[in-house]
Amino acid sequence: MTPTVRRALLLLVLTPLLYVLTGASGTAVAHTELVSSSPKDGAALKKAPDHLTLTFDEAVDPAGVRVLTMDGDRLPVSRTGADSVRVSLAAPGQGRIAVVWSVVDEEDGHASSGRIAFAVGTTATTTGDEASVPAPAPSPSVRKGLVAARWAGYLSLALFVGGLAFVALLWPLGAYEPRARALLGLAWAGGLAATVAAIGLQGAYTSLGGLRDALRPATYADVLATEPGVVLAARGLMWVLAAVVLGALLQGAARSAGWRVGALAVAFGLLRTTGMHGHSSEGGEPTWGAVADFAHLLGASLWIGGLAMLAVAVLPRRRAGELAAVVPGYSRLAAVSVTAIVVAGLVLAWQVVGSYDALLHTSYGQLLLVKTAVLGGVLVAAYASRQWVRTRLDLAVLLRGDAATVRSFGYSVAAETGLVLVVLAVTSLLVTADPGR
């Protein structure tokens, strides 16, 4: 076993263990939903109540519960229990009271919403007019924007963490290659921008607002007061710290032990804060789900980031010595990473979906099947690349990186890269989908 593979295996084994030592999220089941309200929806009351009590199917943070009048005025919310809140009402003496509620799932930031209406006074009747109006839901444009921000965040994470690992483990001279430096710089900028955008979009999504609301300072303040907002803020801070690691790399510190420790710490923080905002902790074994999610993200980053470095920076140079030194090492690293992705993915699938019926008949399970199918195509392209390394790399080195000899390898790498972008897009949709356990 080569030193490169030993280091990769050590990284894949130790970082999930560190994840356990630093704590994992608690148990959750699907998304937070309203169980009951007092007064009940559709009730006819003789006297106007001064408050409304909402009870949910799991613990909620009052900061993540929003209740609005039909005119858009926000009502005060306070905690009455771990899973219930009290809403203060400015109720009229007679007539109908209708409010819109929304709640943010503390684990994955998903928003659930609905409407409650009841009549007050002996002359009021429950005509059901409000019930004929569709329940409020997040804006489709905001949802699409949030998915796009998550896709950009996943891609930037993979390119940055995997690119750093590629340079540190396989290609230290890549720190001086302009294309490699540009790729890492773009990944860093994209990761920071995606995180900042995700905060505003998350706020607009949970408040049932539009795209304009994603730009308002008040939206950011509301999100940062919730648990998902704190996670996003921590991720943003890790991207800021990543600038220090990137700056040191650009100054040629890739061979330094101190830089490698700093890069490992930043990579760990980025992966952890990304994994905390998802479905991995749902199910009966949240700790193992969190560990599997971390290993899944780490393996995907090492694979995708290294693949991009190979395609963008190494292959275009067609230098025989670099091909001989870098390509075999990356091939072995990718094999280890893909194994970790597959094993962790199986654990996550069972942890989150929970049954074959849910896999086939829920939107989450169907998206997971699509992701698996596309990943199968990626693995076919990866197998073609690995076969080239085994059978034709020596010839390419002998011919000093001849373009015709390397071209087929470039095609398979390009196919891998394109399909990986589709996998990341499906992954972004999975974060928003309800597992429906």
Max CA separation in the chain (angstroms) = 94
Asked if residues 184 and 160 have their Cβ atoms less than 8 Å apart, the reply is yes
Sequence-distant (≥ 6) Cβ neighbours of residue 124 within 8 angstroms: 44, 94, 95, 96
Q: Could you give the CA distance from residue 400 to residue 412 in angstroms, rounded to a whole number?
A: 20
The one-letter code for the residue type at 365 is G
Asked if residues 120 and 91 have their Cβ atoms less than 8 Å apart, the reply is yes
Amino acid 131: pLDDT: 46
Q: Digits of tens for pLDDT over the chain (437 positions)? A: 455 444 444 444 444 434 333 333 333 345 678 888 888 888 888 887 888 888 888 888 887 788 877 777 788 888 888 888 888 887 555 567 788 888 877 666 677 778 888 888 755 554 445 444 556 667 888 888 988 898 899 899 999 999 999 998 898 888 889 999 999 999 999 999 999 999 999 888 887 788 888 999 998 998 888 888 888 999 999 999 999 999 999 887 777 888 888 899 999 999 999 887 665 555 556 677 778 888 888 988 998 898 889 888 887 777 777 777 888 888 888 888 888 888 887 777 777 676 667 666 677 677 777 777 777 776 676 666 666 555 555 444 444 444 445 555 555 666 666 666 666 666 666 666 655 55
Domains plus CATH for the chain? Answer: 3-28+140-432 (no CATH), 34-132 (2.60.40.1220)
For residue 51, what are the β-bridge partners?
Answer: 88
Read off the DSSP letter of residue 40.
Answer: P
Locate 385 and state its tokens: 């690349």
Asked if residues 2 and 329 have their Cβ atoms less than 8 Å apart, the reply is yes
Amino acid 29: pLDDT: 42
Amino acid 156: pLDDT: 94
Helices 140-169 and 286-309 meet at what angle, rounded to 10? 70
Instruction: Look at residues 252, 271, 254 and name the one whose alpha carbon lies nearest to residue 262.
Output: 254
